[in-house]
Structure 1
């Protein structure tokens, strides 16, 4: 109608800008959701393993008609691999919490960008988590199956609850590793040079 009266059609700059802002916020939400999930997974892993403890009472001798018993207690502190596991997951949790808070503030302000420093630190945290989970998994396997060659007996038949909680913690930690890997891949894709630039 404007063309008929010799006027230029009115531009609608508000709609593309609003659409671009919504798209920018949605793209910015993806890393925050992944990071929040990684934060949850690593926090669960650290807390469950950190509170993991079980006692087991066994009869060690019979004197006359009286049973002599001894109580054996196991806790995560007994194995350096489990201590490293808890520390690695706690560091990853604190790091992800800090980054989520900073990214959330940037998203509210409309400044969504992938920082190279965060990408590099994400890689370090992923490696820390992966090594902690691998060390704990090797000890968990030894506790479950023992080692026939070294004549080490399995202990999970005596400390079943400890092993079950340790397994839950391991699964949660490996989920955190997978989420950190996804974050690294997403960040690498965002920072990759695009064709035609």
Structure 2
């Protein structure tokens, strides 16, 4: 999503239409939130290893689950809001007089759609990670 942009010429090379992820605040929010989630997941790896090595460290595991839930919530909110904008890009809204831009910016729309699919998969994986963590915590 962070590199998604497309430029279309209009009559001449001097007058062009451009679509970029930075043009829409929702996509900018998507990029920033997913960077935060990715950074958290990378930084939580050593903490998770400690929790695996010391299975009776209930406080550390509980803290890890709380932060995992926060990351699932952040990811779900950013995916939901971005999916609404992708829907508008594909279909438009005749009541608000918004046109579908995907007929002109097809490469841009394909890339943001792929980013949405990957983000939805991320939400499902994070959700299962939280469920597995809570089941493991309950066993101890």
Q: TM-score, normalised by structure 2?
A: 0.88
Task: Give SS of 2:100's match.
Answer: coil
Unaligned runs of 5+ in 1: 1-48, 60-66
Q: Where does residue 80 of structure 1 map in the other structure? A: 25
Q: For the structure 1 residues 83 and 68, does the alpha-carbon distance in structure 2 shift closer, same or farther, using more than 3 Å as the test?
A: closer
Structure number with higher helix proportion: 2
Deviation at 1:127, TM superposition (A): 0.6
Task: Work out the CA distance in 1 between the residues paired with 2:72 and 2:42.
Answer: 15
Q: Where does residue 137 of structure 1 map in the other structure? A: 83
Say whether 1:51 aligns with 2:3: yes
Displaced runs of 4+ in structure 1, greater than 6 A? none
Deviation at 1:74, TM superposition (A): 1.2
Q: Where does residue 147 of structure 1 map in the other structure? A: 93
Unaligned runs of 5+ in 2: none
Larger Rg: 1
Say whether 1:127 aligns with 2:86: no
Q: TM-score, normalised by structure 1?
A: 0.64
Of 162, 166, 191 in structure 1, the residue corresponding to residue 108 of structure 2 is 162
Task: Give SS of 2:68's match.
Answer: helix
Q: Report 1:1-197 matches (<5 A).
A: 49-59=1-11, 70-104=15-49, 107=52, 110-112=53-55, 115-192=61-138
